[in-house]
Chain A
Amino acid sequence: MSTIVLSNLHKRFGDFTAVRNTNLTVSTGRFVVLLGPSGCGKTTTLRMIAGLELPTSGQIHIDGEDVTALRARQRDIAFVFQMFALYPHMSVRNNLAFPLKNEGVSRREIATRVESAARLLRIETILERKTGGLSGGDRQRVALGRAIVRHPKAFLMDEPLGTLDADFRELMCLELRKLHNALNATTVYVTHDQSEAMAMADDVVVMNQGEVLQSASPHEIYHFPATVFVGNFIGSPPMNFLPIDTGVEAGAEQVWLGGTPVPVPRNEASAAKALLGIRPEHILLDEQGALRGRVIADEYLGSHQVLVVDTSLGMVRVRVGKDEGRVAGSQVGLSFRKERTLLYDAASGKLLPASERQMVVNGNGNGTGGAYV
């Protein structure tokens, strides 16, 4: 078991800075997901951990040992790629055994490890089949098996589910997480898919333009995005950001939106220009609401609806219950759940600190009489 520590990691390709000043600790047994749009530096970071790229500056420690200058094969970690590189003419058993034969593991030990990995991945029944004819999911299981049999210090995975279709991806997410719970091996996983990240990770590391913007639990990432980018990138639909009329002062307990006061949790820092951030499910339809607008789309999604409301401050997305419908064209008032509003510095895009971050909300918003406290 092992801890991975990145310190001031920096990677340039010519003029292009792929990764800048990245600090990250992946503790033993954690499942950490690097998440971001293409080109954000997540794969480069992973390849540096693997030893497939050398950092321009900075250090990588695995289990306290400085491995920055070590070759990939000296690092004892297993890399699982998006395109599963299997030998199509070999049986599943031989595909699994192959990496071990090369390392000179005894035949008995190989047989034991292959059987136990196959059991874990539930591929015992296809061990004698050639990989060429397998389904995408089974091939992906075999690729994972090849990593597992090596008993590496850590697993690195680069969009391993990218080629599978949506339904199957969801299933594999659950399987991967179960596998992790069984093996408890330190895992660093790269994806651009927020639902994969949120479903599997202990910690999500959101990256953009070579920088780590936030590293936290899925819960914290969703409810307290550290920057405007994170709030926009996570959530479907994304968080709403509304321009506040003036700057905000430390100690402020209300802000002005389009000339109307809106109460907020006590703000602890000042900003010359600020944005109010709020998730679509924390905006309420309220005739007395601070903001008015016209519904331009009512997206019925069965369990709930998303209204797109055209307001003087821009488009606002509101998530409402399945029975609280408003048809396109109607005028609505909107108010904000005070304890769920966040303030951001418009210049830096960063979340401003506030008190009252922990709050209690009753019920789960479903039906009446729910009193979850």
Chain B
Amino acid sequence: MSEIRLEQVTKRFGDIVAVDQVSIDVKEGEFVVLLGPSGAGKTTTLRLIAGLERPDEGEIFIDGAAATQTHPADRDVAFIFQQYSLYPHLTVFDNLAFPLRSPRRRLSKADVTARVHEVAQLLHMESKLRNMATHLSGGEMQRVAIGRALVRQPKVFLMDEPLSSLDAKLREELRIELKRLHRTIGATIVYVTHDQVEATTLADRIGILEHGRIVQMGTPREVYGNPASLSAAQRLGSPPINLLPAALFDSAALPQGTSTVAIRPEDIVLHAPDARDVLNLRVLEYSPLRHLLILDREGTAIVATTMTERNFVPGQTVGASLPPRSLLYFRSDGRRIPA
């Protein structure tokens, strides 16, 4: 059964169509990441699921039941924001216990304590339960914010860029933790981000949003390896996919209607210059940190990644081959041509 289903949902703000006929199916226990640039409609989609916005058209189902008209408080979803909103004057324990002490829940004191300890253990925060919330690092605060959602045991977690205010090292740490947590508790999660690393590392499936529409939905490997359009191909990949004009290729070797040929930097194979069947290309730039090599092909820069520690020097020549099986072909309107 699908936990969350959006059917042809549209949301307008005045003249702006923020979410345009979006249909999404999130299965029970699935981790779905909505990826897109700012203004793509990611956060609005999440707020529609939470009930913080009402759709102009379409239906939303949660746990099989029509939820379009349901009040946010009755949807049993937990929302985690980018800015962790903790109570600064309360301890970690009291922050975690707060949602459980709501009169609606009628939990005994012992139950509250047990539940808080269980969640603290899950998040490796047991030793910090007595700390004031303000005495925590950014990563710990976001952990407590996630913990506050966990104690309620909601059907669905909605997360809006929860890691974007943390530094790179903490982000990696919490990313791994979030994935582990998802495996442990098997929660249904819809997660919004503009960060492709979070999308490919966390998601069971990624939905790529652009201008309020879902342009592709699939596993990270599907979306990365088999992009439906030029824009989907460009959304994932660091360094980004190479886009080469069809004119650089022998037109007989290309499918009809090809305007752009694309290849991922890691699919380019490097050889000694003048080897058989390779292009001789001039090195423009080399970055050991990012393992990338920028090559010049008749004025078009081609980026290749390389794991060797050879010190490539700008100006030198290397041989490169572009294996046909790694090439993707696109029409001038950005649609993919099946090879």
Cα–Cα distance between A303 and B311 once the two chains are bound (Å)? 22
Closest B residue to A304 using CB positions: B266
Q: Contact between A195 and B183 (Cβ–Cβ < 8 Å)? A: no
Q: Contact between B308 and A365 (Cβ–Cβ < 8 Å)? A: yes
A236 to chain B: which residues have CB within 8 Å? 168
Chain A window 170-185, contacts with chain B (Cβ cutoff 8 Å), 1 for yes, 0 for no: 0000000000000000
Closest B residue to A340 using CB positions: B309
Cα–Cα distance between A219 and B168 once the two chains are bound (Å)? 22
Chain A window 55-90, contacts with chain B (Cβ cutoff 8 Å), 1 for yes, 0 for no: 000000000000000000000000000000000000
Instruction: Tell me if B269 counts as interface (CB < 8 A to partner A).
Output: yes
Instruction: Tell me if B116 counts as interface (CB < 8 A to partner A).
Output: no
Q: Which of B2-10, B94-102, B143-151, B284-292 contacts A (4 or more CB under 8 A)?
A: B284-292
Residue in contact with A234 in the complex, picked from B264, B289, B307, CB distance below 8 Å: B289
| B 261-283 contacts with A by CB, 8 A | 264-272, 275
B225 to chain A: which residues have CB within 8 Å? 322
Residue in contact with B221 in the complex, picked from A223, A281, A300, CB distance below 8 Å: A300
Closest A residue to B177 using CB positions: A297
Chain A window 330-373, contacts with chain B (Cβ cutoff 8 Å), 1 for yes, 0 for no: 00000000001000000000000000000111011111011111
Classify chain B: how many residues form its interface, as a range.
Answer: 35 or more
Closest B residue to A369 using CB positions: B269
User: Of residues A321, A359, A371, which shows the largest number of chain B Cβ atoms within 10 Å of its Cβ?
Assistant: A371
CB distance from B65 to the nearest CB of A (A): 33
Instruction: Tell me if B231 counts as interface (CB < 8 A to partner A).
Output: no
Q: Contact between B180 and A296 (Cβ–Cβ < 8 Å)? A: yes
Cα–Cα distance between A281 and B176 once the two chains are bound (Å)? 19
Q: Which of B70-78, B129-137, B155-163, B195-203 contacts A (4 or more CB under 8 A)?
A: B195-203
Cα–Cα distance between A361 and B176 once the two chains are bound (Å)? 32
B311 to chain A: which residues have CB within 8 Å? 217, 219
With A304-B266, A367-B269 in contact, do A237 and B172 touch (Cβ < 8 Å)? yes
Q: Contact between A218 and B288 (Cβ–Cβ < 8 Å)? A: yes
Residue in contact with B200 in the complex, picked from A222, A281, A300, A370, CB distance below 8 Å: A300
Instruction: Tell me if B306 counts as interface (CB < 8 A to partner A).
Output: yes
| B 66-105 contacts with A by CB, 8 A | none
B307 to chain A: which residues have CB within 8 Å? 281, 364-366
A199 to chain B: which residues have CB within 8 Å? 287, 289-290
Q: Contact between B197 and A301 (Cβ–Cβ < 8 Å)? A: yes
With A198-B289, A361-B309, A364-B308 in contact, do A301 and B200 touch (Cβ < 8 Å)? yes
| A 270-308 contacts with B by CB, 8 A | 281, 296-297, 299-304, 308
User: Of residues B221, B271, B323, which shows the largest number of chain A Cβ atoms within 10 Å of its Cβ?
Assistant: B271
| A 238-276 contacts with B by CB, 8 A | none
Cα–Cα distance between A235 and B287 once the two chains are bound (Å)? 12
Closest B residue to A177 using CB positions: B285
Chain A window 130-159, contacts with chain B (Cβ cutoff 8 Å), 1 for yes, 0 for no: 000000000000000000000000000000
Cα–Cα distance between A219 and B271 once the two chains are bound (Å)? 20
With A218-B289, A281-B291, A302-B196 in contact, do A308 and B176 touch (Cβ < 8 Å)? yes
With A281-B291, A299-B176, A365-B307 in contact, do A373 and B272 touch (Cβ < 8 Å)? yes
A198 to chain B: which residues have CB within 8 Å? 287-290
Instruction: Tell me if B236 counts as interface (CB < 8 A to partner A).
Output: yes
Cα–Cα distance between A194 and B318 once the two chains are bound (Å)? 27
Cα–Cα distance between A199 and B307 once the two chains are bound (Å)? 17
Cα–Cα distance between A321 and B326 once the two chains are bound (Å)? 15
Q: Contact between B269 and A370 (Cβ–Cβ < 8 Å)? A: yes
- 17 CB contacts below 8 A, A to B, read A195-B290, A199-B290, A218-B287, A219-B309, A222-B288, A222-B289, A297-B179, A302-B220, A302-B238, A303-B265, A322-B221, A360-B310, A366-B270, A366-B306, A371-B271, A372-B272, A373-B272
Lowest 10 A-B CB distances belong to which pairs?
Answer: A365-B307, A364-B306, A198-B289, A222-B288, A364-B270, A370-B269, A299-B201, A302-B224, A297-B176, A303-B266
Chain A interface residues (CB < 8 Å from chain B): 194-195, 198-199, 217-219, 222-223, 234-237, 281, 296-297, 299-304, 308, 321-322, 328, 340, 359-361, 363-367, 369-373
Q: Other than A372-B270, A372-B271, give 5 A-B pairs with Cβ distance below 8 A.
A: A234-B289, A302-B196, A361-B310, A366-B269, A371-B272
Chain B interface residues (CB < 8 Å from chain A): 168, 172, 175-176, 179-180, 183, 196-197, 200-201, 220-221, 224-225, 236-239, 264-272, 275, 286-291, 304-311, 318-319, 323
